[in-house]
Structure 1
Amino acid sequence: MIEAMVWRPLICLIAITAATPGEAQRQAINLPAGPLTNAIDEISKSARLSILITDPALLRRRVPAVRGRMTAAAAVRTLARHARANATQIGSANWRLTPLAQAPATLPSVAPPPPPPPPPPPPGDVIVEASKRGTPYGSFVGSVEVITQPQVGLDAGTSTLVTRTTIISSTHRGAGREKLFLRGIADSSFSGRLQSVTGLYFGDVRLTYSASDPNLQLYDMRSVEVLSGPQGMLYGSGALAGIIRLNSNMPQRNLPAASAGVGISVVARGAAGADADAMVNVPMTGNLSIRGVGYARSEGGFIDKPTITPGGRRDTNRTGIAGGRLIARWWAGNGWTVDAIGMAQAISHRDNQYASDDGPSFTDRGTIGEPSSGSYAAGQLVVNGRLGDLSFVSATGLSAQTFRERFQFGIGDVLADGRRRSDTITHEMRLAGDGRVNWVVGAAFTGTRDRSSYAQTSGPGSRSVLTVGGRVQDAALFAEGLVRVTPFLSIGGGARVVRAVSDAEHSVFSAATDRLPQRRQYWLLPSASLLLDPARGLSAYLRYQQGRRPEVEPALSPDIPDRSRHEKVDVVDGGVRWIGQGWQAGASVQHARWRRLRTDVFEGFFGLATFDLGDWATTSANVTLGGRITPRLRLDLAATLNRSRSLTPWLRDIGVRLPDVSDASVRAAIAWTRPIGASLVGRLNGWVRYEGVSSAMFGVFTAGRQGDYVQSGLTLVLDRTHDGLTLAVDNVLDTTGVLYKLGSLGRAMTVTTPLRPRMARIGYNRRF
């Protein structure tokens, strides 16, 4: 009964019919890998076609991704070829797909070994969705990296993206407390009221404003896009360093599916851990499907606290993570879709992950427990459709993020308890057109309210409280275009007009709340670009962009802001790309001038403040090379160099550097695939990454050197059609090193975050 309800509609039309077919015109095609039904839905929506399929089994056949610029007819024929089907055109915008006839078997046959899963598409076929115009990778003006199908296992959060590339850097205070930076643009080791310099997005919706990275787990993600900044023209003030966009797998139409996985792990000289995850895709009707993801992780600790009474505590830094995501997609007809998205996640740390500088390795001499916890919840509503030849997007998001922590303050059993809550609402509407002029116009709004409180307890009946909060709202109009003026030359430009309003409040020792005057700001963010593509697979670009972020009134500040000079980042970025013969290479250089850098400062308990670090110049160079040495062996290499220099003499004289950005990062990775017998495919992935020297900043003081270590990882996967077994090892060489020099807010100069010892995990997953 249920199967009949699901499959009968497939005997009719699959997809959506629109008034104006787009077959004859070349357009950006971005069809996902997976079951044919997913690709059919996408091509029907984007090219306004109707495709008739009468064989349900054909819809289940898996096809690789189809991406690039081509006509709709070429895309349909390509899908048919991959699905071993005939494609017959039966009208101006109507097609029929039927399975190829099977040749009669004349001899007993032996089942051939299964082919390996389709490899990730080469960069030349990837569409950069974060461009907001569906730009192919080779035509994107700017530095971009696309991580397809990010692996999860030993680690699964967004903070682990640092090990997948050389252009991302991070603090290391623990899951849910990190700040992410790109290409040497970094402001502070702590999260305060200033807007984050790196924007984190789930699809078209921003996840946070000024709060830390919530460390969403990357289960069931299709890809991650990393765009170097500033991206102020397209993304506004929270993209001084760039943006990181998470692209989830979306609900599949008319195709039930599910998967589940479990794993156990152990840390050398530490405790064991476990994880579990599940995904389900449920077609509710012919036009409505739901996709849900749930997960839970317990990560074993490796830090001992022998001085806690009674008896001390071993492996105290255990971390628990649990969460999920639910997406409902409605195919409304005529090429329109409506996505309702909800997500929630909770993180708990039994204790911190710091080790004392003057003690044995992986030992903290703190005398009290320092637990912390955080939660993140968000809802989104995204509408996509076509208005004639134009694409329309409306994206609205609401989010709430909270974090609680307890830390030992200074010497003795003095406790400090911190709590922070940040609520954000975002909305954006935009139109985009494709052709000789590739353009986008839109309007955006962001509103956020945050409130932080810190309470210090030094004895019975002794308690001091500091509360800081404020609101920021900004509204913007933006437009950008790229015009092809010759067959090999395109020129682009754009601007974003912003109005920002902010206020602040604070109270000390539970006294009356002091509210600072509201502040209004206006600015214009220009952009200009140049794209050369003189030969197939070869392109070069040059761009200029400007970035700003709203000024916020500091609650308690050690300096007097100079309001005659506003914080601003000007960046010139140039690069070349080559794609061909199964290989791709790229090189880029970015130079930034950062005027009046504002940084968040936590100075003891009595001052949550911002500080003016003056003017800075940064330069970042990046090179990448990747390709197939043999049909089954792939090699990827990348390196990034960063340099920063203060233009303020007294800061330069005392050796102040931008925090948490290493002077060099180098990464090498291999991926090897081979069939094993008649039913197995083996895959071996290995990587090694060198992280150079960087500094942690505490106010205007340098806490010390961190970095200068080598990380490594190795993963073996044995995969069958419906299940797979995974063995993974992190820190294969069992390297020691200092990830983060600051550590606890209350003991910033005496503890550090060490590199996690060797860790191994074995996992099993099943696909239904």
Structure 2
Amino acid sequence: MRGTRAFLCAGVAALAANTGAWAQQAPDAAGPAAASAASDVLDEIIVTAQKRTERLIDVPQSVSAVSAEALQQAHAERLDDYFTRVPSAALVETQAGQARLILRGVNTGGVGATVATYVDETPYGSATSLANGAILTPDLDPSDLERVEVLRGPQGTLYGANSLGGLIKYVTVAPSTDGVHTAAEVSTETVAHGDTGWSGRASVNVPLADSLAVRASGFYRRDPGFIDDQRGKDINDGRTYGGRVSALFRPTDALTLRGSVVVQNLDSNGTNQVDVDPMTLRPALGDYRQARVVAQPNDMRYRVYNLTGTYDFGPVQLLSSTSYSTLFQDALVDVSGLYGDLLTGAFGVPLGASQVQRVQQRRFTEEMRLASTDGGRLDWTVGGFYTRERNAIMQLINGVDNLSGAPIADFANLADARLNSRYEEYAGFASGTLHITDQIDLTVGGRYSHNEQDAVQLGSGPLAGDANYTASSSDGVFTYSVAPSFKPNEDTTLYVRVARGYRPGGPNVLPPTAPGAVPRQFGADTTTNYEIGVKSEAWGRRLSLELTGFYIDWNNIQLFSSVDGYGVNVNGGSARSRGIEASVTVKPMSGLTVSLNGALVDATLTSDAPPLVGGLKGDRLPYSARYSSTLAVEYQRPLSGAVDGFAGVSWRYTGDRLSAFDTSYGQHHLSAYSQVDAHAGITMGPYRIEAFVRNLTDSRGILDVGTAGSALDGNVTAAIVRPRSFGATLGFRY
């Protein structure tokens, strides 16, 4: 069945306790003077990047931790509110629920993710390249998070598949038995060129006994639209709602059980795209406007269920994490630009075209780890991992009236393509840190992963033909990491790291009659990262610095292409990414914090991609900015005995980029842009009142450019940043 896979991939083109945003504002038990002194130094950051609790400064790799306080200051509600503040990170989003994460430039498009996602101990999203995992990145509401950890560079040793570019890890707030805690807030926000939205959040922590506590949180957010259709109506509004319930049970000092359920629904009514001229990228229909034959809703459903148990044997601790997660997408896409003229010519009737797209991801995982806890000469972790996925993609193309978008019964089911797949993986891993001297450590890890996959492709209709094909594959990959480090003092770490990451291969589902040149299977692609870095705290812990240099070799790159008329995943070409990342945070005076980070990234192909992909040796990798930086200033001071004031401003700069490889127009040059955000408010005991503005200068940066046929009348789509918005928040925490 020639070309059916093209339909199937057409949619692809932050520790337990109630710490958080206001924890530093609570009175210190030692008195006001001690509390004031504590506020003059930087917080000590604790992370779990190496699957054990440790200070960020001691981790011999490049990790950014976005705290709950930072999330609050940024008024973070979506991925783009905080992910793009991380050095060398980029996000390409066309619609709420459809986003691609990029770290250190590791991206060539395609259908498999290059950045893995974890929710506490649960890997979330698909590991296979057969379920659109690259663009269905979970956008979880951060309202009840302890922090977000972003691990840059390959993380294959401890985190496995799809972490060849890095990892984003959501660390949720755990239940606590120390007392009842409640929090709530309401916000409203008005977007320029659009309408008004609002949100509400609440959480409660209740100890039911000395050994049992439950925490629950919920949220509802109505997102305002700012993209107009032909009638001048905002069409990209939406709503996001859900919550989390978690219980912690500690029947003995040695045994701890924690169960959690995360539920989130995301309903978007349209894309964040405008129609632009394919050569100049200037708006073709006016600012913030698009023309579509059919509406383009996108509904996402996230579910994460986890039970984690730990047992402390004394010198070692055993951990078991059992998870089940699902991701469902139900979307409608206007494909009139691709198929409208074709259908009109074939049937002699003016027609547009709509594509129904449904994706289902179901994933079970089990991980067991045994780790040393005695703090001896060797800290070690050994474990095993198992995951099983069942995924399905369904795409249905219908002919519609090219003016009204109304379905036409005679032209329904012109193409019905379905791909069902199963992914199963077994892995074993080990990691250890040898403390050679008081100042010199050597961290070494390795992981072997083996996966088996089966897929069935079904098709019917005049545009797809009849099909019932099967395929299977299996492969294994060994990944490793080696990181010697030197600590000249307790507050400085210098390290060198070499690490490898991978993305699994898989089968191409093809008819028996497909030519021999069409690959029946595609292999894993791998990245090898060479990194040198320094982390330091100075000036009585009022200054922190991190500087990293890296070089990444990317081999056997997975690409989606067409071979002899068949849409397949192929391996082709190689690339490299090299750069420098820097982060500095300083408290020069009481109440004032200044943070600056930036990255210089040079990511290019080192060999030609397949001709139908369009990339040539020396071409820059898509959507990787050479320069990016963030500057944030935050100031707090008492206004009276009962009132504290605070204010802050941040500036984000995203340098020029190139769009995806495109054989029709080549890579488009996307101009650099900046965003300025600001906020100010007061706290009165447990209450907080705040006003904020996002994108103060009303920057119109382009995030993504579509390919030929992505819009009507020869235009192409361009996803843009949200325009200027103003809002206010009223919050309470007890």
CA drift of 1:435 comes to 2.2
State how far apart, in whole Å, the 2-side matches of 1:716 and 1:593 are. 45
Partner residue of 1:489?
Answer: 440
Secondary structure in 2 aligned to 1:151? helix
Which residue does 1:203 correspond to in 2?
120
Q: CA offsets, 1:394-437, max 9 Å, x none?
A: 11111111112212113352111111111111111111113221
Q: What is residue 747 of structure 1 aligned with on the other side?
A: 711
Distance of 2:554 and 2:140 partners within structure 1: 30
Q: CA deviation at 1:151?
A: 2.2
Work out which of the residue numbers 639, 655, 662 in structure 2 matches 1:676.
639
- The SS at the match of 1:178 is strand
Letter in 2 for 1:760: F
2:527 aligns with one of 569, 573, 585: 569
How large is the Cα RMSD of the aligned pairs? 2.9
Query: Is 1:442 aligned with 2:383?
Result: yes
Q: Are the equivalent residues in 2 in contact too, given 1:317–1:351 (CA < 8 A)?
A: yes
Confirm whether residue 647 of structure 1 aligns to residue 610 of structure 2: no
Q: Does 1:452 align with 2:393?
A: yes
Q: How does 1:119-138 map to 2 (within 5 A)?
A: 122=42, 125-138=44-57
- State the alpha-carbon separation in 2 of the partners of residues 649 and 596 from structure 1: 12
Task: Name the CA distance, whole Å, in 1 between partners of 2:34 and 2:533.
Answer: 40
Partner residue in 2 for 1:691: 654
Aligned partner of 1:17 in structure 2 is: none
Aligned-partner residue type, residue 443 of structure 1: G
Find the aligned partners of 1:745 and 1:631 in 2 and give their Cα distance. 56
Q: Secondary structure at the match of 2:158?
A: helix
* One-letter identity of the residue aligned with 2:553: R
SS of residue in 2 equivalent to 1:314: coil
The answer as to whether partners of 2:60 and 2:483 remain within 8 angstroms in 1 is yes
- Change in 2 beyond 3 A, CA 1:746/1:456: farther
Match of 2:484 in 1: 530
| Corresponding residue to 1:722 among 686, 704, 707 | 686
CA separation in 2, counterparts of 1:649 and 1:259?
A: 54
1:550 partner letter = P
Match of 2:254 in 1: 335
Residue ranges of structure 2 left out of the alignment (5+ in a row): 1-14, 128-132, 277-283, 341-351, 401-407
How many angstroms apart in 1 are the aligned matches of 2:419 and 2:533?
43
- The alignment covers a number of residue pairs equal to 661
1:545 has 2:499 as partner = yes
Q: CA separation in 2, counterparts of 1:118 and 1:414?
A: 62
Q: How far did 1:576 drift?
A: 1.1
1:585 aligns with 2:551: no
1:731 alignment partner, one of 674, 685, 695: 695
The correspondence for 2:173, drawn from 235, 249, 261, is 249
Deviates more, 1:278-287 or 1:756-765: 278-287
Cα distance in 1, alignment partners of residues 524 and 434 from structure 2: 32
Residues 131-210 of structure 1: pairs in structure 2 closer than 5 A = 131-149=50-68, 150-152=70-72, 154-188=75-109, 192=111, 194=112, 196-210=113-127
Q: Counterpart of 2:334? A: 408
Conserved 8 A contact 1:645-1:652? no
Bigger shift: residues 548-557 or 362-371: 548-557
CA distance in 2, matches of 1:660, 1:503: 32
Corresponding residue for residue 763 of structure 1: 729
Query: Relative to structure 1, is the Cα distance of residues 614 and 62 closer, same or farther in structure 2, using a 3 angstrom cutoff?
Result: closer
CA distance in 2, matches of 1:492, 1:352: 45
Shift of 1:658: 2.1
| Structure 2 partner of 1:429 | 368
Q: Deviations over 1:316-340 (max 9, x none)?
A: 1102101111101111212321111
Pair 1:301–1:680, CA change in 2 (3 A): same
| Offset of residue 517 of structure 1 | 3.4
| Counterpart residue number, 1:75 | none
1:517 aligns with 2:471: yes
Q: Take 2:310 and 2:663, find their aligned partners in 1: how far apart are those partners?
A: 46
Query: Is the CA contact 1:34–1:64 (under 8 Å) kept in the aligned structure 2?
Result: no
TM-aligned CA distance change 1:514 to 1:244, over 3 Å? same
Q: Deviations over 1:523-546 (max 9, x none)?
A: 321221110112342221111111
CA distance, structure 1, for counterparts of residue 522 and residue 94 of structure 2: 35
Contact preservation (8 Å) 1:303, 1:355: yes
Name 1:104's counterpart in structure 2: none
Normalising by structure 1, what TM-score?
A: 0.81
1:281 to 183, 205, 226: 205
The C-alpha deviation readout for 1:277-322, integer Å capped at 9, x for no partner, is 111112222221111110000111111112xxxxx24111102101
1:33–1:63 Cα contact (<8 Å) kept: no
Shift in alpha-carbon separation, 1:705–1:121, aligned structure 2, 3 A: farther
Alignment partners' CA distance in 2, 1:293 and 1:718: 24
Cα distance in 1 between the residues matched to 2:733 and 2:636: 20
Deviates more, 1:590-599 or 1:405-414: 405-414
Secondary structure of 2:656's aligned partner:
strand
Relative contact order higher in (CA < 8 Å, ≥ 6 apart)? 2
SS at match of 2:503: coil
- The amino acid of 1:676's aligned partner reads L
What is the alpha-carbon distance in structure 1 between the residues aligned to residue 37 and residue 71 of structure 2? 14
CA contact (8 A) 1:161 1:168 kept: no
**Separation of aligned partners in 1, 2:616 and 2:475:** 34
Counterpart for residue 308 of structure 2 = 382
**SS at 1:171 equivalent:** strand
Q: Which residue of 1 aligns with 2:428?
A: 477
Shift of 1:383: 0.9
Cα gap change, 1:226/1:34 in structure 2, threshold over 3 Å: closer, same or farther? Answer: closer
Change in CA separation of 1:613 and 1:759 when aligned onto 2, cut-off 3 Å: farther
2:96 touches 2:271 (CA, 8 Å); kept in 1?
no
Residues 215 and 707 of structure 1, relative CA distance in 2, 3 Å threshold: farther
Indicate how the Cα distance of structure 1 residues 183 and 555 shifts in structure 2: closer, same or farther if over 3 A, else same: same
Separation (CA, whole Å) in 2 of partners of 1:162 and 1:612: 29
The alignment partner of 1:697 has SS state of coil
Conserved in 1, the CA contact under 8 Å of 2:509 and 2:520? Answer: no
Q: In structure 2, give the amino acid aligned to 1:83.
A: A
